[in-house]
Structure 1
Amino acid sequence: MTERASEPQHHRSGTSRAVAARADRKDRFTGRPQVRPTAEGWKQPMGTDGRPTLQFAQKPRVKQPPMHLADMTMAERQEKMKELGLPAFRAKQISVHYFTHHTTDPEKMSDLPKDRKQEIVETFFPPLLTEVKRLVTDDGRTIKFLWRLFDGALVESVLMRYPKRITLCISSQCGCGMNCPFCATGQNGLTRNMSTAEILDQIVQANRIITEGALGGTRHEGPDAERVNNIVFMGMGEPLANYKRVMNAVHRMVADQPEGLGMSARGITVSTVGLVPAIRKLADEGVPFTFALSLHAPDDELRDDLIPVNSRWKVDEALDAAREYYDKTGRRVSIEYALIKDMNDHPWRADLLADKLNARGRGWVHVNPIPLNPTPGSIWTSSTRQATNEFIDRLEAKGIPTTLRDTRGKEIDGACGQLAAAND
């Protein structure tokens, strides 16, 4: 524990928070500084209780995203087709075009009646995501996309080619209401939830771009064409704060083509900062995806400031809920842990994390330390190699499976916590 651990917990605001952030205390076990979290370059919204504000629901609005084929079940698509005076089998045809061929271009839909093509496309495929900008790095193996939604809101997703998989990091909300001081996404708060179809369209458009050869490959279409096979809900937003639409999207991802994308559930990771009631619902979805808990600190004293939702649901509550997910699904849980220099990378925290995980059993969890994007002169900078290695060694010495995350996209602000949907 730190020296501050024996002091009474209190709510800090203004000057007191700044004083606490000056790294003027030493870790009692190592003599290293104990940096405290504080927002840099922006003002963190605070409540009357001196705690960061949390937004679990979007602001009231009148206009909803237009209904899209990806929002509907196959039965609903068939009914919609009948409303147009067309046979139900046309619903399967257009579903193949979208989920298998990744197109909404009527000119490529030769099996539809010529005099009704345009009407069908306009009915089932209202524009959802319009590409505004793409940035490329890693010799073409990483692409960050900036998308404009129907109402002008901006979101980002990141496409990454690895030796044995193609991963897409997708967004689930426009902005985020979790108010974490280190995350660029949360600086402007939550604008709105994304619809099921808006979430899915990120994948469909990425698949189209891959077939065009834009991800360091060659143009190749057909049933054996490359496509996204790994999805991580680690883009903009808190997925479990948009629970219904995110889960609808997950079910559509794993549904057989052309009902959905025909993806393997084991290639899908749903991440959360710790919305415990929603975590407890996940196991009942009947889809064996990977659940990831963005923990970043094993002690409440630090995590209260680092991850503000911890003021609602504490570390032990989140870990208990994560263990329940494993018990019900048999799917090993991933613990995400961004290593931040002198803030959360102390050896004793590795020991505490391991002890808390082991107290809930063995074999149920895997830890992913994440190198933070280095920012010279900032309190938010990556741990040293020595500190990183010791943190991992301590976890492994206590029997915790640990893998250092291979981060991508730092050069284009596409790494974890960097997505801000800026169009400049």
Structure 2
Amino acid sequence: MPATPMTPDPSLTEAERARILAKAALFAPPPATLPDGRRDLVGLSREDLAAEMAAIGEKPFRAKQLWHWIYHQGVTDFARMSSIAKPLQARLAERFVVGRPEVAAVQTSADETRKWLFRFRDGQQVETVYIPDPEEDRGAVCISTQVGCTLSCRFCHTGTQRLVRNLSAAEIVGQFMAARDAYGEWPSPKDERPRLLSTIVVMGMGEPLYNYENVARALRIVMDHEGIGLSRRRITLSTSGVVPMMDRCGRELGVNLAVSLHAVTDELRDEIVPLNRKYPIAELLAACRRYPGASNARRITFEYVMLRGVNDSEAEARELVRLIRGIPAKVNLIPFNPWPGSPYRTSTPEAVRRFAEIVNEAGYASPIRRPRGRDILAACGQLRTESERGRRKPAAA
């Protein structure tokens, strides 16, 4: 049986456990069973897939075969799974599906950034972005983990959309699989081209660590060497600072960590990243120092959106250096990407350059992120859908 969307970590306090369970009940994704009774196999763990095969009288090796076809070959039609006999193909098709999110819309930017609006079976929608690297023949898929967001960061367009629900593991990994479909990136014996979709950044809509169980299940599928097979070094999870879950993420997944910092004082961060009121900067940075696997070879990325006259002074650059001293880190400076109704402006190029110089001089890489996909609202902080119109009500007790 699949795990609940937010199974509490035993190390959490009773109050934290209660909050997580209450949120899970309200924002849980819909069941994986279709109205016609068939079960979606995407998103199941290896153990769950083996259990489904055992339930129809098949041996464990069938699960291994299906895993290969679903995640290594990207096949959605049982009739195309040539290593499975036709009678079993028909039985599987009667009971199961290999799903994908529906492509409701797709846009391509002038800089080749592509944005999909994916619609799920209950009508909810999220946006997913592919960001090509202009200097290399590859790029990153930015995936979402929730419909909407609960954090309400003031500079983020997604934060203006209230949280509707968590995404399931199938809906999370399905975004990457659908992107592979679009680019024809599933392996072929005759195709030796390098993979364009070589990296995943969990930086789309939502706070991943408030949907940890489903995110973890999806990323384990992505990292499975007999399936999609992406290395954990090619996956970066971004959090606004859900401190109690950061240790668990590092211990269980070991993926790269990015932290949305954006301010160097609690007073300002309380205002622009309200989660800071629960987990202030000192607690957040302590969790970063504890993060398993952090080293000079695998640095924590601090994301810092540059807001004109708000957080972009030279004094704040020096305070940032002081705060992160001793943490293997780099600082991504993100020029603010405007969106309709935003109260902020982008820092001047001179302010961004000087901020970067101060951080670099202290020994920290400080690249200035080149805005991508602005013309289609696909840049950092610009993702948003209208799915709140169909927000699900909690089931009666």
**Is the shorter-chain TM-score for this pair beyond 0.5, marking a shared fold?**
yes
How many correspondences in the alignment? 357
Deviations 1:297-322 (A, max 9, x none): 01111110100000101111111111
- Equivalence map 1:13-412=2 (5 Å): 57=24, 59=26, 63-66=30-33, 68-121=40-93, 123-125=95-97, 127-138=99-110, 141-162=112-133, 163-211=136-184, 224-225=192-193, 226=195, 228-257=197-226, 260-285=227-252, 287-325=253-291, 331-358=298-325, 361=326, 364-374=328-338, 379-412=343-376
User: Equivalent residue of 2:164, what SS?
Assistant: strand
Structure 1 residue 179: Cα displacement: 1.4
Deviations 1:356-394 (A, max 9, x none): 111xx16x1110001111469953221110010011011
The aligned residue for residue 23 of structure 1 is: none
Structure 1 residue 401: Cα displacement: 1.9
| Change over 3 Å in CA distance of 1:404–1:348 after alignment to 2 | same
Deviations 1:232-287 (A, max 9, x none): 01101000000111112222211111xx31111100001100111111222211x4
Structure 1 residue 118: Cα displacement: 4.4
Structure 1 residue 338: Cα displacement: 0.7
| Change over 3 Å in CA distance of 1:123–1:156 after alignment to 2 | farther
CA distance in structure 2 between the partners assigned to 1:91 and 1:326 by the alignment: 32
User: Equivalent residue of 2:71, what SS?
Assistant: helix
8 Å CA contact retained: 2:137, 2:196: no
8 Å CA contact retained: 1:288, 1:329: no
8 Å CA contact retained: 1:98, 1:204: no
CA distance in structure 2 between the partners assigned to 1:337 and 1:156 by the alignment: 22
Larger Rg: 1
Q: Which moved more, 1:175-184 or 1:84-93?
A: 84-93
Structure 1 residue 170: Cα displacement: 0.1
User: Equivalent residue of 1:269, what SS?
Assistant: strand
| Change over 3 Å in CA distance of 1:329–1:391 after alignment to 2 | closer
User: Equivalent residue of 1:271, what SS?
Assistant: strand
User: Equivalent residue of 1:146, what SS?
Assistant: strand
The aligned residue for residue 17 of structure 2 is: none
Structure 1 residue 341: Cα displacement: 1.2
User: Equivalent residue of 1:201, what SS?
Assistant: helix
8 Å CA contact retained: 2:306, 2:312: yes
Deviations 1:25-48 (A, max 9, x none): xxxxxxxxxxxxxxxxxxxxxxxx
| Change over 3 Å in CA distance of 1:271–1:99 after alignment to 2 | same
Structure 2 counterpart of 1:185, one-letter code: T
TM-score norm. by structure 1 comes to 0.77
TM-score norm. by structure 2 comes to 0.82
Structure 2: any 5+ residue segments left out of the alignment?
1-21, 34-38, 388-397
8 Å CA contact retained: 1:345, 1:391: yes
Identity rate, percent: 34
8 Å CA contact retained: 1:326, 1:333: no
User: Equivalent residue of 1:209, what SS?
Assistant: helix
The aligned residue for residue 31 of structure 1 is: none
CA distance in structure 1 between the partners assigned to 2:265 and 2:372 by the alignment: 28
CA distance in structure 1 between the partners assigned to 2:110 and 2:25 by the alignment: 35
| Change over 3 Å in CA distance of 1:58–1:300 after alignment to 2 | farther
